[in-house]
Amino acid sequence: MHFPQQLHNLDTTIQGKKETATIRGEVVPFQTKMAQAAQMLIEIAEHFSTVPILAVTDSWFGNNGLWKPAYKAIGNRFNILSRLRCNNVLYDLPEKRKPKQRGRNKKYGQRLGSATDMAKTVQQEARLYNVNLYGKQREVSAYSRVVMLKTLKRPVQVVWVFRRTQWIALFTTDLNLSITQIIEYYGARWKIESGFKELKQDIGSQKSQCRNAQAVTNHLNFCMMATTLTWIYADRLKTNPERQHKVKGRTSFAFSDIRRIIAEAALDPYFERVCPKYSSSPVNSVVTVLLRMVA
């Protein structure tokens, strides 16, 4: 008979409890992914105070949610390069003000249609460009035009890249970038996705069992350090390692191949002379932890 009241009290307790993260007793304010991304870009721009910042993002970040706060804090040296969604509506540049024209200037010109509509009309005007894409020199068919984009409320350069059966539209707020640069910069973004996979799956950042906000941050920082040390080790190898799991059409080595080489080197008897085991030298315990993370 008392179960409904008990459940009500339990529900009230759960709803009234504030789920907040704390670091050293201080509450960490909640931030969306968009706000966190903008904050990181602002901090990078503050460190490199005289260097132009070009943020290459996927279509999810390519809107005013990221652009507005970052541009407000960084200024004209900040630009974004992203992928345009197929349903984004594009507008022509506004006409120049005519003599004795009344009223305010128009912000947008004639409606050109969606990115999909324009792709059908501009494909015939596309030209071939030689670009370095995914480690190879390739010929791609592309067309570029400067248009107004309402999601950013400013002019952007849009590049339609046409493949055999599909197309993609890229845009950037930097009107000085060439078509080749826009395609190559966005193509290089895939390396970042590969880096996320290495960080999450190979190193194990997503397998954290930490429940404290500071511990989660420390775990992620150690994982990123281990990834960086692995690639530094790979960069200093005299010869490229052989790929263990060979893939047709790929000659480059993988991240797992470097981890295997480091693990083999750490198991070598001569390695203990440089970095003794924990039992013989507690001073080098940090080295042991890093090697375990890398291997």
Confidence of residue 248 (pLDDT cuts 50, 70, 90): low
Report whether pLDDT(288) > 80.
no
Tokens of 104: 């305010």
Cα 110 to chain center, whole Å? 33
3-class DSSP state of 155:
strand
CA–CA dist 61, 69 (Å, integer): 12
Q: What is the mean pLDDT of residues 276-287?
A: 58
Residue that is written with structure tokens 């792709």 in the block: 119
* Number of alpha carbons in the 13 Å side-chain half-sphere of residue 202: 20
Q: pTM of this prediction?
A: 0.72
Sign of the CA dihedral with 221 first, then 227, 231, and 234 last: positive
> What is the pLDDT confidence band of residue 5, given thresholds at 50, 70 and 90?
very low
Q: Does residue 52 contact residue 185 with C-beta atoms inside 8 Å?
A: no
